Amino acid sequence: MKEEVALTLAKAREKLTTAKLDFEGGQFADAVSRAYYCAFHAISACLLEQGLSYSSHGQLIGAFNREILKPGLLPKDFAKDIQTLFDDRQSADYDIFSPIDVGLAQTEIMMAEKILTSIEGLLLNGPGV
């Protein structure tokens, strides 16, 4: 299980790197999409550490809110950030006329990075970090 958690965190880091490259290249919608997947994989790793895995994005996000955020292991405002990342990823990937711009992309990359680094800290050091 530890190897799977580490590989999933590595995938999250990879998505964050890709989000930043997309941003630098002016591909703001793709940057937002990759930022969401950074958070998605980080959340997956966090739940895998507890022996939990889910087949849908909604189930994964719900379990993260219930198992990690509600008990206060990470900031509760991450729930709003994750929902924003999810909603904007949907828009970025599927809407022809998307509201994604440079400011939104930059903000969401920072949100995803904060979620990832917080989860890495939790998994490395335990609660209260």
Q: pLDDT tens, position by position, for the chain (129 residues)?
A: 699 999 999 999 999 999 999 999 999 999 999 999 999 999 999 999 999 999 899 999 999 999 999 999 999 999 999 999 999 999 999 999 888 999 999 999 999 999 999 999 999 887 654
DSSP for the chain, written as a single string: -HHHHHHHHHHHHHHHHHHHHHHHTT-HHHHHHHHHHHHHHHHHHHHHHTT---SSHHHHHHHHIIIIITTTSS-TTHHHHHHHHHHHHHHHHH-SS----HHHHHHHHHHHHHHHHHHHHHHHH-TT-
Segments forming the whole domain that contains residue 66? 2-125
pLDDT, residue 128, reads 52
Whether the model clears a pTM of 0.95, i.e. scores above it, the answer is: no
Domain count, the chain: 1
Q: What is the CATH number of the domain that holds 71?
A: 1.20.120.330
pLDDT, residue 125, reads 85
The residue type at 80:
K
